[in-house]
Chains A and B, each alone.
Chain A
Amino acid sequence: MHFPRDHGSHPEFRIEWWYITGWLHAKDQDDCGFQVTFFRVRPRVPADNPSRFNPEHIIIAHAALADRQLGKLRHLQRAARQGFGLAGSDTGNTRVWVDRWQLLRDGQQYRCRISERDMALNLVLDTLQPPLLQGVAGYSRKGPQGGSASHYYSLPHLRVSGEIRIDRTARTVAGEAWLDHEWSSSLLETDAEGWDWFGINLADGGALMAFRMRNRRGGTLWAGGSWRDAGGAVSNFKPDDIRFIPLRHWQSPLTGAKYPVSFEVLAGPFRVRLEPLMDDQENDTRATTGAVYWEGAVRARSSGHEIGRGYLELTGYLRPLQI
C-alpha cells in the first residue's frame, strides 16, 4: 500500500468505505458511542448514458450516536449519486462527501462534518499511530476460495475532539476512535450470509481486530484478525486462531432480527468478553444501503477487567447480506 494515495478513493473497485467508530465523553454526561461511515458504491449501470445523473458512483453516508439514555441509536443517513459536485470521492487523499457531509484528510488530521436538522457532528480526528495493514500487507482474505478479499487498513487510537449537536443543544466532546478503510470488488463468497467484526482500542495503546465470515448455516466460513501491541509489533491471526462464542442474544422488536450482542472471543493469546454499551444498537439503513445490521459500542473485558473499548458489527442476521 502507498500512502497518502491509498487514503484516497479507488473508483475502479465496486465498493469502498471509510468507517469510523469510537467512544466519546462530554462534561457531566455518560460516555457514548459514535459511528460515521462513508460508502462509495458502483451500481451496474451502462457507462454510455450521457446523463449527468447517471449513477456510476453512489456515495452513502451514515452517522449514529449510541446514547444509553435514549436506549437506541440516533441515526442519520444521506445518499446521493456522484455528480454536479454535490457528492463524490477524491483519489489521492481522503475526501469523500455528500452535500454538507464530509470526511477530509488534511495532514495528520481527519475532519469530519455531519449536519442535519436533528443532529450534527463536527469532529477532528488526530492520527497518533501509523496505519495498521490488515491481512497480508493490506490484502485481507474473506473466504476459503481466495476469490473474495478486500484491501484493508485500520487507523486505531485516533484522538477525537469537537462538537456534537442534538436538536438545538451543542456539547463539546472528546474521545478515541478507530478508522477502517476497505475497498473491494468481490467481498462476499456466494455461501456467505454475513459477518461478525470487532475493533478494540486497547487501554495499553495496542489494537485488536478480529472478524469471522458466517456461512448460510450459521457456521464459520472464514476468520481473520490482528493484534498490534503497544510497542507496534503486529501479529496476524490465522482462521483457526479465532473463535466467536455467543453469550447472549437480543431480538429487535422493530425488525425481529436476533443478534448475539455479547461474545466470548478467542483470538490468538486473547480471551475477551465483549459487552455492549446497550442492547439496542440496531442500525436500519434500508433506505440507503438496503441493509439492517447491528453496529454497537462495546467494552472488552478480560478476567473481569476492562482492557479496551471499541465497536462490534453484526451483519446478515435479518437476511443474508447483499453487496
Chain B
Amino acid sequence: MIRAVWQALVGGPLRAAPGRTLLAMLAIASGIALGYSVHLLNASADTEFRRAALQLSGEAEMLIRGPRQGFDEALYPQIARLDGIAIASPVLEFQASRSSGEPSLKIIGVDALRARELQPMLLAGQTLPAADLFDPDNIILSAVAARTYGVAAGDRLDFRAGTALVTLRVAAVLPDGSHRLPLGIMDIAAAQWRFGLTGVLHRIDIRFDRDAGPAALRKSIGALLPEGVQLLTPEAENLRSAALTRAYRTNLDMLALIALFTGAFLVYSTQTLAMLRRRNQVALLRALGAPQGTVLGVLLVEGALIGAVGAAIGITGGLVLAQQLLAAVGTDLGAGYFRNLQAALHIEPATMLFFMALGTLFALMGTLAPAIEIAGMPPARGLRAGDPDEQVNAFPLLAGITAIGAAALLLWIAPSTGLPIHGYAAIALLLAGATLAFPPVAIRLLKLARLRLPLPHALGLSRLLATPRLAAIGMSSILVSFSLVVSMLLMIHSFRTSLDTWLEQVLPADIYVRAAAGGDTAYLSAAEQQRIARIPDLARIEFLRSRSLLLLPGRPPVTLIARDPGIGGFAAALPLVGTPAPLPENGPPAVWISELVADVLALRPGDPVRLALGAQPQTHIVGGIWRDYARQNGAVVMDLAEYRRLTGDRQINDLAAWLAPGVSVNEASGRIRAATDDGSALEISTTAELRKLSLEIFDRSFAITWALQAAALGIGLLGVWLAFNAQALARRREFGMLRHLGMTRREISAMLAGEGALGAAIGAACGLFSGVIIGLILVRVINRQSFHWSMDLAIPWLPLAALFAGIVFCAAMAASAGAALATRQEMTRAVREDW
C-alpha cells in the first residue's frame, strides 16, 4: 500500500514534472548555502582568534592585565613573591609603530626564562641561543609578520618609539603556522629599553601552586592591584579579544538565519501548491482505501527528503561560497575587523549535521500544514473536478495577529544591553505574522473596495478575489522578500546618512595629523608641539592625546581622548545626543562619554563617574553623551589641559589643524613634518580623505548585505513564478474558455500579468509596511544593542519607489511566464479536460 501511495503521490509527479521538486530543493539549498557559508566564516574567524589568544596566554592560570599604557613593574616582584604563586611571567605587549608608514606590529616583550614555563609554544618549540634571545638589537618574527613586511632572518626593521628611530635585526622567523598573527617577540629588557617603556609592564601571567587556594590567592592578588589593573582568567582574556567582533558576528549569523527563513517560506509555498495540485490523486487514493496516516506519512517523508537533499546541496554550495568569500574578502566579509588574521576554514561535522537537520526541519515544517489539510480532506470533496474550493480561513489571520502581538511583547521586554536576540526573534515573529495575516486582510479590503477595471484585468481581479488562498501564496513570497529588502535598505541608509553627518561634525578642521599610521609607541613630544604651534601657516591647532583606560568591567578598555575643547566648548564640538548637563562653576571637571559607556554604566548627563587617570582616581561629572561611530569599545572625552594637570603627561598622538587663508595642504604638511623629529612617520590626511576612507570602509562592511538582499528578492520572484505556474495548470479550462470567447493569447497573457502585478503590488505594499517596522527594529533595537550607537532614521524614498515598481514589473513578467505553459496548449483540449 505504501509503495502504491508513494508511486501515485511522489514517483509519478516527480517523473512528470521534476522541475518543481528541484525548485523546492533549490530554495532550501540557497537558504542553507547562505546560512552555512556565513556561519563557516564566522566560526573560522572565531577559532583563529581563540587560538591566537590561547597561544599567547599559554598555560597561565590567571593573568593580570593593565591598560594600554601599562602599569608599574614594581607590581611584578610583589606578585611573584606571594605565597601560592608558582610562576609569574612579566610581559610587555604593545603595537609598535613602523617609521615607514607600514602597518604597525604587535610586539611581545617576554622574559624567556619565565615565559618558557607558561608559554612553551611562544617560540614554537624553537631553541635559540641565549645570546640571540637577550640581544637588545634582536627581534623574532612570526611567519605572517615576516611576510607582511617582506623580510627574512638577518634583515633589519625600523620602528618608531616616541620621536626616536629604533632599528632591530630579525634574529629568526618562526615556522609558518606557529603564530597566525603578525607578531614580534623580544627580550623584555630590550623592549623596555628600545621602546622607551622602562619601568612598565602590560601583563603578568601567573601559575598557581598546586596546593594554593585560588580564592584566597585571588583576594591577596586583588589587594595588590592598582586601579585600572585587572586579574583575569585566560578564558576571560579570550572573550575580551572576541568581544570586539561578537556583536558583528552574531548579526551576521542572524542575517544568515533570515536567509534560511526565506528559503523555508519558499518550501512552504511550493509544497502548498504541490499539495493543491495533488488533491485529486490523494482523494482517489483515499477513496480506494489508503489510510489517512499512510498518505500523510508519504507526503511528510517526501518533504523531509526534499529538505535533506536540498540541505546537502546547500552545504556543498555553502562550502564553496565560503571558500570564495574567504579568498575574496576575508573572514569578516570585508568589514575590516580581522585584517591581520590568517584564517583557514574550520569545518566541523557537527555543524554540518546541524545545518542538514535545519534544512530538513524547515522543509518538513513547510510540508506539515498543507499535508495535514490535504490528507484530512473528505475524498468526495477532493474528487470533485475544478479548482480547490477555497474559503479564507480564519486560522492564518488569528495566528498572524498572535505572532505580531508576540513580536511587540518581545520588543517591550528586550534588555538594553547584550546580544540582540530579542530583536531578531521579534523580526522573525513579525515576518511570520505579516505573512499569515496581511494577505487575507488585503484581499478583504480589496473586496470591499469594489475596483472597476477594464475587461481583461477585471477578470484577473475577480479571479484573485475568488481564490484568495492561491493569491496569498504569491503575495506572501513578495511580502517576505520585500520586507527584508526594505528593512535592510532602511537600516543601511539611516546608518550611512547618520555616519556622513557625524563625520562632518567630528572632522571640522582642514587637516588631521597622526604621530604614526598605527601603534601605541609613536607620539609628539612637548617640544615638537611647541614648534608646530609656531607655524604661521596654521590658523588654529587642536592637540589630542588618546590612550586606553580600563573603565567597563569585563570589557576591553575604552579610549580616553583628551583634547582642546575648541571654540564653542565640547557641547558644540561633539556630536551630542540629548541635552548636555548644566555644569556647576566649581564642580568636578566634566567628561563627555560615548553612548556605549553611557549604556554599559547606565550614566546620564550630570552623573558622577570615577576615572583612574593620575595617581589617585578622581570623580568627574558626565557633561554629556555623544555619538561615536569610530571606537567600538567606547570613548571618554576630556579637556586636554585638565588631563595634563591630572597626569603630567605632555605627549600627544594627533592634532587637527585649520589652515590660514591661501595656504595649501601640501605647504602646511611640509611645515608640520619639518617641525617634528621624524617627519616621515607622520600620517597627514585631509578631511575629505578621511571621510572618503570612512565611507569606503562602511560600504565594504555592508557589501555582504547586498548579496542577502539579492537572494531575498530572487526567492520572492521565484515564489510568484511558482504560484502562477501552479495555477496555470488548474486554470487550463478557464484559459480555453476565454480563448473560445475570442480573447487572444496576448490578452490572456496581459490578464495574467495584471493579476501578477496586482498581487505583487499588494504583497509589496504589505512588505513595505512590515519592512519599515523591521527596519525600525534594526535601527532602534538591534544596532543600539549590538554596537551601542544610535542613528537617525532616514528613509530612502527614491530607491524604495524604484524597487517597488521593479518588483511589480518583475512579478507581472514572472506571472505571465509562469502561466505561459498553460496558455500555449490547445484550446479544444483545454476545454474538454475534466480531471
| Chain A residues near B (Cβ < 8 Å) | 43-46, 49-55, 58, 79-81, 84-86, 99, 116-117, 286-288, 290
Contacts and interface: CB of A to CB of B under 8 A. Distances in A.
A51 B80 contact: no
B210 A117 contact: yes
Interface in B69-85: 73, 76-77, 80-81
Interface stretch (B186-194, B251-259, B378-386, B465-473): B186-194
A86 B113 contact: no
Contacts of B81: 85-86
Interface string B189-226: 11011000011000000000110000000000000000
Contact of B187 (A55, A80, A117): A55
B359 interface: no
B388 interface: no
Contact of A50 (B80, B127, B134, B193): B193
B113 A43 contact: no
B127 A290 contact: yes
Contact of A86 (B77, B189, B192): B77
Contact of A53 (B116, B188, B210): B188
B660 interface: no
Given A50-B198, A55-B187, A116-B86, 19 more contacts: A44-B131, A45-B134, A46-B136, A49-B193, A51-B189, A51-B192, A51-B193, A52-B73, A52-B198, A52-B199, A53-B90, A53-B111, A53-B189, A55-B134, A58-B130, A79-B113, A80-B111, A81-B113, A286-B127
10 contacts: A43-B134, A46-B136, A49-B190, A51-B192, A52-B198, A53-B111, A53-B188, A53-B189, A85-B77, A86-B80
Nearest to B191: A51
A45 B135 contact: yes
A81 B116 contact: no
Contact of B188 (A46, A51, A117, A286): A51
A55 B111 CA distance: 9
B130 A290 contact: yes
Contact of A43 (B73, B114, B130): B130
Contacts, number: 67
A290 B134 CA distance: 14
Contacts of A51: 188-190, 192-193, 198
A116 B86 CA distance: 8
B126 to A, nearest CB: 11
A49 B114 CA distance: 20
B80 A49 contact: no
From B116, B127, B189, B190, residue with most partner A Cβ within 10 Å? B189
B587 interface: no
Contacts of B187: 53, 55
B553 interface: no
A220 B131 CA distance: 29
Nearest to A98: B113
Given A45-B136, A86-B81, A117-B86, A54 B130 contact: no
A55 B76 contact: no
A253 B87 CA distance: 31
A213 to B, nearest CB: 23
Nearest to A49: B193
Contacts of A45: 134-136, 189
Contact of B209 (A44, A52, A117): A117
A288 B133 CA distance: 12
Nearest to B77: A84
Instruction: Across the A-B interface, give the 8 residue pairs with the lowest CB-CB distance, nearest first.
Output: A53-B189, A84-B77, A51-B189, A51-B192, A79-B113, A54-B189, A49-B193, A117-B210
B113 A288 contact: yes
A51 B192 CA distance: 6
A79 B87 CA distance: 11
B662 interface: no
Contacts of B127: 286-287, 290
Contacts of B86: 116-117
Contacts of B87: 99
Contacts of B76: 84
A290 B73 contact: no
A99 B80 contact: yes
A287 B86 CA distance: 18
Interface in B150-207: 187-190, 192-193, 198-199
B129 interface: yes
Nearest to A54: B189
Central interface residue in A51, A58, A84, A86, by most chain B CB within 10 Å: A51
A202 B129 CA distance: 40
Scoring B116, B127, B134, B135 by chain A CB atoms within 10 A of each residue's CB, the highest score goes to B134
Contacts of A81: 111, 113, 189
Contacts of A287: 116, 127
Contacts of B189: 45, 49, 51-55, 81
Contacts of A80: 111, 113-114
Contacts of B136: 45-46, 49
Interface hub of A43, A53, A85, A116 (most chain B Cβ within 10 A): A53
Interface string B258-271: 00000000000000
Nearest to B114: A80
Contacts of B130: 43, 58, 290
Contacts of B90: 53
A81 B113 CA distance: 8
A50 B190 CA distance: 10
Interface in B111-159: 111, 113-114, 116, 127, 129-131, 134-136
A43 B192 contact: no
Contacts of B210: 117
Nearest to B92: A53
Contacts of A84: 76-77, 80
A117 B116 CA distance: 16
A158 to B, nearest CB: 29
Contacts of B129: 290
A58 B131 CA distance: 12
Nearest to A58: B113
